[in-house]
Amino acid sequence: MVKPVGTITRGTTGHNRLRRCDRWVAAVHGPRLRSVARPLVVDLGYGASHTTTLELFTRLRRVAPEVEVVGIEIDPARVAVAKPHEREGLSFRLGGFELPVPRPPMLVRAFNVLRQYGEEEAWRHWDALRSRLAPGGVLVEGTCSETGRRAVWVGLTPGGPETITFAARFDAFERPSDLADRLPKTLIHRNVPGERIHAFLSDFDRAWAVSAPYGAHGRRQRWLAAIRVLSASWPVPARAPLGGAARWRLGELTLPWEAVAPR
């Protein structure tokens, strides 16, 4: 047996912790999953509980009934705990970044996995995971707070990173730049003057500030107004599936990766 590649995480998890990302994946990548027979989805590094993998399986089955989900963990004890929860289309196995699955996955979700690695290692793991995707597949890699109320994730295809999404519950931040501590490892140390991600978060804070009057109608309306301000100077997708009011109202904002990529 090949030794799993990677390092054991803290394993922190909880019910609905990854709901925001799951909701986005179902809406944005549901058509991708429906485009092939028996699409394989991998939940990499699901943690000490099977909960978030089961939730991902349940949510994706609603939009892609033939989807098969495999939860992969590097800790044998965690796999043993999850095994009794297997069912048709849902399984758990020991492994790491090598992705020990029978065929290339159409989608890999890797959440709260790369936080413990350095920036160069994170780039290498991105490349390794992208190389294992099926044609037309996607890697969704991100980080969220322990409650899942603040999250940032990147969507990557075999060709490289394509999107970055900022998501939060409206009462979980004082200003949008509070999401900086959830940035992917490839960006978190780049949040300094002169880098695009710093410029974006600074502009988002300013847009949030000038939109304060809309707060009288609730923080959701203030968020929507701030995005409209941002759209004047940043390439904010305005239509589904990545953008538009339906997604913004959920506390989401997606940008093309190029807009914030390291210089």
Are residue 240 and residue 150 in the same domain, yes or no? no
Q: How many domains does the chain have?
A: 2
Q: Does 127 lie in the same domain as 91?
A: yes
Q: What is the pLDDT of residues 178-228, one digit of tens each?
A: 999 999 999 999 999 999 999 999 999 999 999 999 999 999 999 999 999
**Using 50, 70 and 90 to split pLDDT, how confident is the model at 20?**
very high
**Element of type H or E holding 58:** helix 51-63
Tens of pLDDT, residue by residue over 63-101, are: 999 999 999 999 999 999 999 999 999 999 999 999 999
Q: Is 77 a domain residue?
A: yes
Query: Which of helix, strand or coil describes residue 32?
Result: helix
Are 37 and 154 members of one domain? yes
Bridge pairing between strands 150-157 and 138-144: antiparallel
Asked, for residue 73, whether it belongs to a domain, the answer is: yes
**Does residue 248 sit in helix, strand or coil?**
helix
Helix 196-210 to helix 219-230 angle, to the nearest 10 degrees? 130
Q: Would you tell me how many other CB atoms lie within 10 Å of the CB of residue 176?
A: 24
Structural domain of residue 159, as residue ranges?
10-168
Give percent of the chain above pLDDT 90: 94
Last residue within a domain, chosen from 104, 138, 168: 168
35 pLDDT higher than 70:
yes
In a shared domain, residues 222 and 136: no
Domain of 88, CATH number, reads 3.40.50.150
By the 8 A CB rule, do 13 and 51 touch?
A: yes
Residues 144, 64, single domain; the answer is yes
For 96-135, what is each residue's pLDDT tens digit? 999 999 999 999 999 999 999 999 999 999 999 999 999 9
**Do the domain assignments include residue 185?**
no
* 176 found inside a domain: no
Q: What is the mean pLDDT of the chain?
A: 96
pLDDT at 8: 86
Closest CA to 125 of 97, 146, 158: 97
What is the band of 14 on the pLDDT scale with cuts at 50, 70, 90?
Answer: confident
**Residue 209 in domain:** yes
In this structure, are 50 and 139 located in the same domain?
Answer: yes
Say whether both 64 and 123 belong to one domain. yes
Q: Is residue 81 part of a domain?
A: yes
Looking at the structure, tell me whether residues 209 and 243 fall in a common domain: yes
What is the distance between the alpha carbons of residues 39 and 185, in angstroms, rounded to a whole number? 28
Q: Considering only CA atoms, which of 164, 116, 134 is closest in space to residue 42? A: 134
**130 and 231 share one domain:** no
| Residue 173, pLDDT above cutoff 70 | yes
245 belongs to a structural domain: yes
Strand partners, 205: none
Q: How far is CA 65 from CA 20, 37, 108, 144, 224, in A?
A: 20, 10, 17, 27, 33
* 179-215 burial code (b ≥16 CB/10 A, e <16): bbebbbbbbbebbeeebbbbbbbebbbebbeebeebe
Shared domain check, 242 and 156: no
